[in-house]
Structure 1
């Protein structure tokens, strides 16, 4: 579906025939006088284009359109009509666009023309336009002027999904790959990428998994003229589920490009099934599952009839139409080398039983597992022959064959899940894959009826048995796996044998193959490992080249190869090294293990809990006081005459304001081998504390000092050995603070003038600081620019680390540490500026490290590092480092901000706010509404589930009251003088600052967390429902889980992450003015008046 292209000449290789197993007549016709000329003439004249069209027939044939596609113009005409038909024709349009992409190498100009027309037409569906952008960038080698026009058009792009997708394509292609298929377009992109990064810095830096995006990874080895690539594309619509998801793997070899494997998944309306199963009213309130963890991550900081009646009254007054699900449809298509292998298509009739009242949890899985299966499939995954003429008159040919057998057996399997959350699963599966690849390259000698050449034979056989019993309880957080070993059995059988050959065309029985390496040139090995340690003996035997022949390869593999080249070395074996490996498992001779039990437990307690989770380790002392506590306990036991048991406990506790964190890890392992006499123990305690935002300085004249003197300190103590008292000890102190450069930037905010420039970049704090002060002058409580300024200025780029260890830590004798240091030193050797291999004055047993992080480019982070050890000092400059918080943490904690966002965007959550009469939606559209004291719907779940409703109204003293309707509770936040009051079901909640009150349901599941700060700010956190509400003075801030994407309505918008659809109400009407839209969510009341629509307010679209 998404393929690469090598300039204007490379195409998809055309399978002509096979070379093994052919009859004498076929060989004579192929290699006889004139036969190869005819074959080549057909391939280079017309059949390639014909075949490329055949590749695209699969999806159209599936829809009964085979009569239309013999002419490639079919796809061009079908694609040209996209967006003009009804919504139900969308699948047909996607099929036509897929066909258009597949015929692109043979009809470049036509496909480029139609794709450009589709893309630049902003009225066409966004997913169709995104596919058109793939054609322009990856399939048709668009010229520079067309790409430049496409980028200029991004400035006026109405669809955020299209913008994010195109920016991600440009960023991925700009990785400067040497892959021949992408090098031509990359040459153009490298001149345009800086412009895109400057125009859209937020889109360029962010990889958001709730928006459409494109990923590309490629590699190329010029020595062997061999390369490969992988693509991953996600097209999003108005749901947290992708509408289209595609992954493709391709190979490049000697000017030929193969799309070796592709998987395309398309869905419509499938969120209806997921919502039914994962709805908090069905799943969260029963088992305590946090809805924030569905598609994201977040740390937690009366009767139902009353709530339902109030919600129904609001809906009747506002005439809010619930959002209906699209008809359910699911399609999965697998293709290889341009051919559709398998197509799975399911419609609504297949999924309706899953959401029926009679459906019980686990019924679908049990129906799938309880049926025994014994399946055997044979596929020739690669069946191709290439023939090319040569200058000396002999035809050169390459033959590739990969017959593969797949065997799958399932018996006596079952799955059961009760309404209380108890799960029992039994699996007895076996998967066997045996693949044999042969590649032969040679020259045909027509007059002698002989073919000479070289080739190799490779076998990969894998035997994967899976027999396990699982017991789990979602309510208690315990999962246990019990597996009985069935030994002996083979696991892996692999060989790679290169050879030369001589094939007699008329007498194939005389054909011969001669191994390229003699037996005495390879090293045999045979070994039995891990038997004494695990009780299971792994038998390994085979052969390889001698050590002296592989020494240079090992050096190159460790220090020179990128990850893809490392993968090629083992899988593709470009040097044709002879290899053989057989791996089998059998019982150990002494103390054999008969099975394995693996158990995981998790428990969380809130700050006010009187009892904390107990520990099985006597080394444990206490958790962080007045904190949330998470405890994970894992045990791994090998059953048998000798019990081998390993146990690990991880405890994480943090205060509600997230300024203190404790990490505790305890590990205990019994003697596994016969040589071990003592337990192995590890005890680690790490305590982190940080300063945080000084909110009292969030005023126009002090906002620049809000993050002054921020600091993070981490103290860690590690003990290991026979016990945690007398063994090895390592003590570490790490401190993070602002770097000198950051302090200079903060100082420049006093004058508002940038005086420093680093690599052409101005003061990065200045833009958001000026926007923040401007918003504060307008009377806003917390402008969006203040949010960005506080987050960015809270980053601490300077780190100092002091490490002390006792005499039991033999640092320079540890083979793991010394090898790791050697690898890192070699990998980053170009950044080494100074290295003294002599004592530097530090105390023996101490290490001192200093790091300062810099950002010379928008998407690059480097660090200057000083290392002082007992024996040497080294200084490193501009070392590339990751964006992880361990290099430069942030101290901001407001609105769910956490340093986990630096590792995964799933921890990032947008917010909507209303300040005075200014609204900023989830999709960052800002607009003004007239003054009114009526209740207004800020955000409401307008799906069929109707999980929550959030309302707000202005008071006479210009503050805001808030009402939250959720399941069985009604929460009211109101103002009494300058103080704030929080009620639950009409009862005032007496709260102490920074000490949250936890609300649990009848099952003991934590459902709500209520907090007040200084009696001026109130928060309602509902992890089960995936909702966070913050009310302060004249402002309200709302955050919701990704689960609600596209389901909401109200002043905060629909949360579909596409601003061009922001002013659409649930009845399908588009509104031209902000108040025309917002008035639909003002609740009529005799005690207030609704202002008329003046048409004066227009929305302002801002960057994320």
Structure 2
């Protein structure tokens, strides 16, 4: 009866079903006369529902298997999608029967199993046994992917809602998770020792299956793989923690009791502790647990754990997702515990482990959602250990764990090392992970080998390369993929790149898949004697046609790709509520039909010319193109149900015979055309909306809702408003475009390269006579038609001099007339310069004065119009300096005055006093000094004069709607929008002062502006948002710093410094050094590659207390004094060489620079870009930096550089020391000509 109501009819015979399968097989693109694959799938779904096992077998044997050979496979695919969607016992049993008898391909079997737990109507013990036993058959076990999805499907059924959980160890579970049923799927008694020699993927599948089952016994099973005493490997421990996180909702107290000891065990790797913490978070912990964790992380030695916990607590406290209300309320009482702790006041550092989320909730309509993103850093690798994204939806009081995707990796840096690992002869910087590999030479090999043999440093081996991708849907693990180094075996190193690409991407593939994502039917008797029914179904149809990629190799190493694709995605849903008039064989009620279609055809020819640095794209447009349709049609119905209806009648009854809930005069039709005259391609939007309340509704939609609210509003349509919306791309009425050409080019110009451009470029920076180095990025776009070409050309140039103190950015734009009303080109020529002050090293004795009185000169010129000369122009001339508040703090530090103001407003003052205190203890540049030097270089005040001539609005032409919006709210548009709001007349001048205050986590970055007009009036604009650090540049230039570091922590390279009798590691631990004149290992590449080794020793010379020795592969570099009265000298491979400020020393190998040595003010800088090494040394102080490539693979006094101070004190043999002095002694190189420290 329910099937009859939903379908509007019922197909009676096998031939009708077969006809429907054939039509469903051929469904591709819906048009005006085609109701599409989604609706036809729903009709066939309802038709096949009452069929018995024998009838299903009859359809398969007599109709599916007898289909013509050219369509047999696609008919079978559709038939299997229907079987999986039905979810009744007979349908599932028949599908499993086909799998067990090897009648399905591997992909078909895998897809069938993956849909089981989503669509099964009644999860019974018998069904669990059936699925579980099928996993043991040879047909399933022979295929890894099929066995994986089978086990996960069976375990998901065990842990379904039909499982009656026991909440103590004295009672058994009942229902689908009773011990007898579980025995067909899982063995609770297995230990890590039992599976020690089993294939790893099998063990991990069983671990994920335990997470699906979620019983107490399953959690105890996971406990054995989590606790260190059972000695499971890290892969298994991480998998068990993720499975426990999934299962914790059934037994939260048990989950917390398992993981809290792991989290509080500071000797555990940070990745394990963070995963344990996440289990605690999802188990709905009480306030006292959260407060205890917050208190513990204040003194926790692991920086990665601290970073993750703080980011997670802050993100959850700010979450708007309804299911986070309780923990968010708890955390509002927890976060104040960190308010006065300086290290917790820093912004989120995304280079470390972290959790962030984006959430929303609309109380009016009771819907919302959250997207959670996590990254867990590895303790021994540059690559992160875990990346995780989870999407949850909340509608009408129900939360759904819709989708989760997790990627984990071990040893992936081993593959990176093979691909781009630095070698002598590399032509590019390892800081950028690029390099061309050459063979090394063997200079100074003997001495380095003697040092290595004397110390016996154990290699920090790469893990076996292994990665795991896991997919979960609706709270259950449904699939898992893993790969290791064997994947490289499919790639022949002798093949040309295009041959390898053709192997992977060159096959023609056509995919068509149907999914039933909603299926709810309720039938309730009433006192009236007729039943009330509710029926809600949603089907999704995905079609992808991948034609074979045409790959050819052109001249000059060009690679030509011909790509043809077509993607179609359709969602079809209906919802009905009504009364079944059984005595009249009809139904009466109300409901809606909805349909959304997105179509994307792709015909693209791409040419990659690596030698020229160009990418060319060509696309014929093939118009007209119906890109998207959305229809929502509420209706009332009084429909007979007849079991002899054919397909066409059924579809017609479901779509056409229902009566619309709204009359035509209650709707407003629209047919709008956009961009046709501009691009030659007309964007047409056509359809109808409800007339009543339209303007109020649109205002609410666009101005009062977030993007997440809009998504749910469109998807759910809470008011059941009728709507029809279609988007077409059509040829323009005049001068239509038929083809699109895009060319993107990049090149890097050295000072002696030719500088050709069709734009009036001028790379010289101000009055600086040096010819700078320049990055050039250009884009050319051509909308080509038979009668007109619309061309657009743009170029961005970034120039800098060799010492990086002068910078210039140029932007050029040239557009031909696009519209019929335009008769001239639109050109823009913009140039911005910045001149940073060079450091005055004579001030280094008093750091507070190092940047006092200094400034950054800045200039911006914009010319635009039909030409870049004699047309409109805007000029800004100014300089950046310290704000008045910063000047007061620096003056107070210079005078060594105590802090008298609020500490939050005295950050520079506090850092300066900490630096002075370190100098009093004989440390010239402690951690606070380096930080003070960087932050005191911040120039947050801009003083500028702005002048415009022949001003004509430019933004109105380019971005009309944005310009109109910011005209009324200029502050929201930022700095330039505020300035523009004061432009009056064609010519004029303004004086602008901008002050960017220091801001903390609770503040939004902003500037306070005062603008003075020509008539002397002052206008103040407070809290103007800033969207970058452009208005607060830093002049700091030491230790490889650049202003990019303010935007992304990945550009901040940590420093290890050796001063006096102490050393600070890359990760911030302070190490006490022993009193010895032997060489000590400062830092070393301890991977099996042994790329560099840096040593230092005490000399006994009061003027130059330290000597330095660096091995870059087999080349030795020494900086030392040879006598008490001599200065520092530079030796390479034992021979003295000269380096002067005017002429740095450059050492080449295989005709490529291996390293460069610069000198200034008695400081030596050694930079090896191919090897990613930077150090600066003056005989007493040493500062070292290495590229992020080496993270987790370094050893020596500077630590392992894994962004975590925990386990920093790791000796040559991997032993962990508690004493920094004993740790330092372990890296002393014994030798007959020195005095080793006493032990």
Residue 51 of structure 1 deviates from its aligned partner by 11
Match of 2:687 in 1: 543
State the match for 2:1163 in structure 1.
1017
In the TM superposition, what is the alpha-carbon distance from 1:979 to its structure 2 partner? 4.4
Structure number with higher helix proportion: 2
Q: Give matches, 1:94-243, under 5 Å.
A: 94-137=238-281, 139-175=282-318, 177-199=319-341, 201-202=342-343, 205-237=346-378, 238-243=380-385
C-alpha contact 1:75 1:99 (8 A) present in aligned 2: no
| Deviation of 1:233 (Å) | 0.9
| SS, match of residue 1089 in structure 2 | coil
Pair 1:368–1:1009, CA change in 2 (3 A):
same
Find the counterpart in structure 2 of residue 290 from structure 1: 429
Structure showing greater radius of gyration is: 2
Give the structure with the higher percent strand. 1
> Is structure 2 residue 748 aligned with structure 1 residue 603?
yes
Q: What residue number does 1:299 align with?
A: none
* Distance change >3 Å, CA 193–CA 447, structure 1 → 2: farther
* 1:909-1058 aligned within 5 A: 909-957=1053-1101, 958-967=1104-1113, 969-975=1115-1121, 979-986=1127-1134, 988-993=1136-1141, 1002=1150, 1007-1014=1154-1161, 1016-1058=1162-1204
Q: CA deviation at 1:787?
A: 0.4
Instruction: Name the CA shift for 1:817/1:599 in 2 (closer, same or farther; >3 Å).
Output: closer
- Residue 375 of structure 1, aligned match among 511, 524, 541: 511
* Aligned counterparts, 1:783-862, within 5 A: 783-810=926-953, 816=959, 819-820=962-963, 822-823=965-966, 826=969, 845-855=988-998, 857-860=1000-1003, 861-862=1005-1006
Correspondence 1:275 to 2:421 = no
Partner of 1:715: 859
Deviations 1:779-823 (A, max 9, x none): 323211100111122222323343211124347976847853644
Displacement of 1:904? 1.5
Residue deviations 1:1046-1082 (CA, integer Å, cap 9, x gap): 1111111111222221122353322343343333433
Rounded Cα–Cα distance in structure 1 between residues aligned with 2:267 and 2:955: 66
The more displaced of 554-563 and 75-84 is: 554-563
Q: How far apart, CA to CA, are the structure 1 residues paired with 2:877 and 2:177?
A: 65
The separation in 2 between residues aligned to 1:340 and 1:394, in whole angstroms, is 38
CA deviation after TM superposition for structure 1 residue 831, in Å: 13
Assess if the C-alpha contact under 8 Å between 1:631 and 1:652 holds in 2.
yes
In structure 2, the partner of 1:337 is 474
Quick check: 2:1055–2:1184 contact (8 Å CA) kept in 1? Answer: yes
How far apart are residue 752 of structure 1 and its match?
A: 4.4
Cα distance change of structure 1 residues 563 and 693 upon mapping to structure 2, 3 Å threshold: farther
CA contact (8 A) 2:214 2:248 kept: no
Contact 2:1068–2:1205 (8 Å) recurs in 1: yes
Per-residue CA deviation, residues 992-1038 of structure 1 (Å, 9 max, x unaligned), is 437656666656x6653432112x11112223322211112311111
The TM-score, its normalising length taken from structure 2, stands at 0.75
User: 2:1191 touches 2:1202 (CA, 8 Å); kept in 1?
Assistant: yes
- Quick check: 1:413–1:427 contact (8 Å CA) kept in 2? yes
Mapped partners of 1:824, 1:855: distance in 2: 28
Q: Please name the residue that 2:914 is paired with.
A: 771
Task: For 1:68 and 1:576, locate their aligned partners in 2 and report how far apart those are by CA, in whole Å.
Answer: 39
For residues 706 and 694 of structure 2, the distance between their equivalents in structure 1, rounded to whole angstroms, comes to 18
Q: CA deviation at 1:706?
A: 2.2
Distance 1:253-1:594 versus aligned 2 partners, 3 A rule: closer
Could you tell me how far apart the structure 2 residues matched to 1:838 and 1:878 are? Answer: 16
Give the match's secondary structure for 2:460: coil
Aligned counterparts of 1:272 and 1:310: Cα–Cα separation in 2: 28
C-alpha distance in 2 between matches for 1:713 and 1:582: 50
**Inter-partner Cα distance in structure 2 for 1:986 and 1:192:** 61
Change (3 A) 1:19 1:745: farther
C-alpha change, 1:48 and 1:581, in structure 2 (3 Å) is farther
Alignment check: 8 A CA contact 1:18 1:383 kept = no
In 2, Cα distance between the equivalents of 1:638 and 1:477?
Answer: 23
Instruction: Identify the residue that residue 1031 of structure 2 maps to in structure 1.
Output: 887
**863 and 559 in structure 1: CA distance in 2 versus 1, 3 angstrom threshold:** farther
| Cα distance in 1, alignment partners of residues 1096 and 930 from structure 2 | 22
Which consecutive unaligned segments of at least 5 residues does structure 1 have? 1-16, 31-37, 297-301, 1094-1104
Deviations 1:421-459 (A, max 9, x none): x56252424141312142636466799985744445131
2:406 is equivalent to residue 264 of structure 1: yes
2:567 is the counterpart of 1:432: yes
Distance 1:332 1:68 in 2: 16
Q: Distance in 1 between matches of 2:960 and 2:487?
A: 55
- Equivalent position of 1:481 in the other structure: 616
Query: Does 1:665 pair with 2:800?
Result: no
Which SS does the other structure have where 1:281 is aligned?
Answer: coil
In the superposition, relative to structure 1, how do residues 768 and 359 fare at CA in structure 2: closer, same or farther (>3 Å)?
farther
Counterpart in the other structure of 1:1099: none
Task: Give SS of 1:1090's match.
Answer: coil
Answer whether contact 2:443 2:1133 (CA < 8 A) is retained. no
Q: Measure, in 2, the Cα distance between the counterparts of 1:987 and 1:576.
A: 85
**Does the Cα contact within 8 Å between 2:204 and 2:236 map onto a contact in 1?**
no
- Identify the residue that residue 652 of structure 1 maps to in structure 2: 798
Tell me: CA distance 1:887–1:342, structure 2 relative to 1, closer, same or farther (3 Å).
same
- Between the aligned partners of 1:786 and 1:394, the Cα distance in structure 2 is 80
Closer/same/farther in 2, CA of residues 997 and 197 from structure 1, 3 Å limit: farther
Write the distance in 2 (CA, Å) between the matches of 1:927 and 1:603: 43
Tell me, which stretches of 5 or more residues in structure 2 are unaligned?
1-40, 52-86, 88-120, 126-158, 166-173, 187-200, 644-649
> Does the C-alpha gap of structure 1 residues 45 and 432 become closer, same or farther in structure 2, counting only changes over 3 Å?
closer
- Assess if the C-alpha contact under 8 Å between 2:362 and 2:368 holds in 1: yes
| CA shift for structure 1 position 386 | 8.5
Task: Specify the alignment match of 2:28 in structure 1.
Answer: none
2-side partners of 1:396 and 1:749: how far apart?
78
The 1:71/1:581 distance shift into structure 2, 3 A limit, reads: closer
After TM superposition, the structure 1 = structure 2 runs for residues 479-558 of structure 1, keeping only pairs within 5 Å, are 479-485=614-620, 487-488=622-623, 490=625, 492-502=627-637, 513-526=658-671, 530=675, 533-534=678-679, 537-538=681-682, 540-545=684-689, 550-556=694-700
**What residue number does 1:255 align with?**
397
Q: How far is 1:552 from its partner?
A: 4.0
Check 1:334–1:321 CA distance in 2 against 1; reply closer, same or farther (3 A cut): same
Tell me how far apart the structure 1 counterparts of residues 552 and 1069 of structure 2 sit (CA, whole Å): 47
Contact 1:273 1:351 (8 Å CA) reproduced: no
The alignment status of 1:736 with 2:880, answered yes or no, reads yes
More deviation, 666-675/782-791: 666-675
Contact conserved, 1:366 with 1:415, CA < 8 A, in 2?
no
**What's the offset of the Cα at 1:772?**
1.1
Question: 1:847 & 1:816 partners in 2: Cα distance?
Answer: 24
What do the CA deviations read for 1:257-314 (whole angstroms, capped 9, x no partner)? Answer: 11212111122222211221121239xx55x443223499xxxxx9721154444333
How far the C-alpha of 1:346 sits from its partner, in A, is 1.6
Q: Secondary structure at the match of 1:134?
A: helix
Mark the CA change 1:851 to 1:382 in structure 2 (over 3 Å): closer, same or farther. Answer: farther
Cα distance in 1 for partners of 2:881, 2:1178 equals 30
- Tell me the matched-pair count: 1040
Q: In 2, are the aligned partners of 1:559 and 1:823 still within 8 Å (CA)? A: no
- Provide the secondary structure at the position in 2 that maps to 1:205: coil
User: Do the aligned partners of residues 403 and 218 (structure 1) sit closer, same or farther apart at CA in structure 2, a change above 3 Å counting?
Assistant: same
